[in-house]
């Protein structure tokens, strides 16, 4: 980081300009896998954001103690701890969601969005900045997962968050709740986001993208 | 800290992180375990309640072919039915089905698929069929009263004509047949275990 961003910019960048899914294409496995319904997308987004926040807190606090050579091992243990906490929490308090998301909650451990933020940001910045960064990235992730979930659930099941919105006349597009529907919808969303950015931005596109990936 | 050699620091920091992590998880597990166990038992109880005829309580009995859940009414030692968990492979992964049988093990009193990862919209109709607005549970419901001898058969494109046949799901023949195959195999096991254990009187 050659130039420090303002605290507000640190938070806002994850929402759209450096959105983990739309701009950096990180964390695509859960994005594609669980978004067949809006509720699943929301639950996965919240769980991931929790893990991201807690891991960033710990790792930015410990950043000067963890030797460079074992940093990845250290990060993964910290991330896995909070993933297990989130997984057990869902199993204990929201058993239906836990059953629907199944193995995808434990798989947050290998979500490259989380490890990516630790490596690129939390290990080099203070606690406050890291938390803002994580919150922005987490909200950006939730936004895309819920958007995908709403689109796929509407077309694939005729409902939004389990509430039927399209009547009996509507024949659900089965493909939308199957894996191909995830790829199609995500591709179209990314294309739309790029098209919007290209057509609306007066300033040149972000140049620090290399620092993110 | 900086006076220590790098290897010592690596060992020290990683040990510290893992001990901390173990501590957090142990504490969290103590907090969540009773609730998780509670939900598991509730789910089991609900499933047994759905597949067996009305009963006041059930007792678990361990046999070679897994746990049998025997439903009885208060004031009577005659079981109203016997339930057990049948596990086997479906189209894409494991199916876990709670199966209810009459005490003489000749007829099904109901089945409920508890876990499955079949194709959404096709194989998942073994649980619920949202495309059939009148009767979304038509597939599992038709197992009630089905005779298990000589074996349960899922028909393709035909209406059941005998008391051991059910109608298969169009577009999910493998899932339909997986259910009947798992039932046939495991009901046989349960029959064997039940008779060697001394039958309903014990």
Convert the pLDDT of each residue in B27-79 to its tens digit: 999 999 999 999 988 988 999 999 998 888 888 888 877 888 998 888 887 88
- Whether A123 is covered by a domain: the verdict is yes
Q: Judge whether residue A210 has pLDDT over 90.
A: no
Q: Answer yes or no: do A65 and B14 touch at CB < 8 A.
A: no
Measured in angstroms, the CA of A74 and the nearest CA of chain B are apart by 6
Instruction: Please tell me which residue, B105 or B196, carries the higher pLDDT value.
Output: B105
Of B21, B32, B36, the CB nearest to A78: B21
Could you tell me if residue A87 is inside a domain?
A: yes
Encoded tokens for A86: 């989130």
Is residue A39 situated within a structural domain?
yes
When divided into structural domains, chain A yields a total of 1
Alpha carbon separation from B176 to B78, B114, B144 (Å, rounded): 33, 15, 15
Residue B67 has a pLDDT of 87
How far is the alpha carbon of A209 from chain B, nearest alpha carbon, in Å? Answer: 31
Is there a domain that residue A147 lies in? Answer: yes
CB atoms within 10 A of CB B108: 24
Q: Using an 8 Å CB-CB cutoff, list chain B residues near A168.
A: 133
Query: Taking all residues of chain B, what is their mean pLDDT, rounded to a whole number?
Result: 88
Contact status, residue A44 vs residue A101, Cβ threshold 8 Å: yes
Averaged pLDDT score across all residues of chain A: 89
Query: A95, B39: Cβ pair inside 8 Å?
Result: yes
Residue A213 lies in a domain: no
pTM (2 d.p.): 0.78
Whether A206 is covered by a domain: the verdict is no
Interface check B119 vs A, CB under 8 A: yes
CB atoms closer than 10 angstroms to residue B97: 27
Length of chain B in terms of residues written: 202
Burial class (CB in 10 A: 0-12, 13-18, 19+), A3: exposed
Over residues A160-179, the mean pLDDT reads 86
Q: How many other CB atoms are there within 10 angstroms of residue A94's CB atom?
A: 14
The answer to whether position A210 is within a domain reads no
User: In this structure, how many other beta carbons lie within 10 angstroms of the beta carbon of residue A163?
Assistant: 8
Determine the structural domain holding residue A120 and report its residue range.
7-201
């Amino acid at each position: 980081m050659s130039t420090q961003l303002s605290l507000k910019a640190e938070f806002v960048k994850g929402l759209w300009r450096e959105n983990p899914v739309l701009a950096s294409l990180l964390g695509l496995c859960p994005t594609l896998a669980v978004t067949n319904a809006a509720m699943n997308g929301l639950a996965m987004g919240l769980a991931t954001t929790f893990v991201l926040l807690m891991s960033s807190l710990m790792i930015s606090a410990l950043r000067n103690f963890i030797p460079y050579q074992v940093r990845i091992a250290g990060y993964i243990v910290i991330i896995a701890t909070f993933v297990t906490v989130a997984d057990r929490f869902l199993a204990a308090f929201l058993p239906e969601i836990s059953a629907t998301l199944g193995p995808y909650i434990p798989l947050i451990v290998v979500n490259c969005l989380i490890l990516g933020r630790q490596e690129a940001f939390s290990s080099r910045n203070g606690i406050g900045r890291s938390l803002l960064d994580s919150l922005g990235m987490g909200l950006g992730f939730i936004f895309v997962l819920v958007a995908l979930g709403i689109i796929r659930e509407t077309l694939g099941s005729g409902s939004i968050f389990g509430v039927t919105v399209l009547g009996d006349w509507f024949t659900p597009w089965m493909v939308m709740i199957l894996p191909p529907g995830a790829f199609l919808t995500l591709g179209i969303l990314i294309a739309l986001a790029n098209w919007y950015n290209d057509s609306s931005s007066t300033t040149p596109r972000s140049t620090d993208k290399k620092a993110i990936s | 800290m900086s006076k220590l050699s790098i290897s010592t620091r690596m060992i020290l920091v990683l040990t510290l992180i893992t001990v901390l992590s173990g501590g957090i998880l142990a504490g969290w597990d103590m907090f969540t375990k009773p609730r998780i166990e509670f939900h598991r038992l509730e789910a089991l109880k609900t499933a047994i309640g759905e597949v067996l005829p009305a009963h006041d309580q059930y007792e678990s009995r361990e046999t070679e072919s897994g746990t049998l859940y025997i439903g009885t009414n208060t004031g009577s030692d005659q079981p109203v039915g016997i339930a057990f968990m049948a596990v086997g492979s479906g189209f894409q992964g494991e199916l876990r089905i709670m199966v209810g049988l009459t005490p003489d093990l000749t007829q099904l009193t109901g089945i409920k698929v508890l876990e499955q990862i079949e194709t959404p919209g096709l194989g998942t109709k073994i649980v619920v069929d949202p495309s059939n607005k009148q009767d979304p549970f038509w597939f599992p419901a038709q197992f009630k009263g089905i005779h298990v001898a000589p074996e349960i058969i899922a028909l393709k494109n035909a209406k059941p004509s005998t008391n051991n046949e059910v109608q298969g799901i169009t577009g999910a023949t493998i899932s339909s047949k997986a259910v009947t195959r798992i039932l046939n195999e495991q009901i046989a096991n349960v029959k064997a275990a039940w008779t060697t254990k001394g039958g309903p009187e014990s």
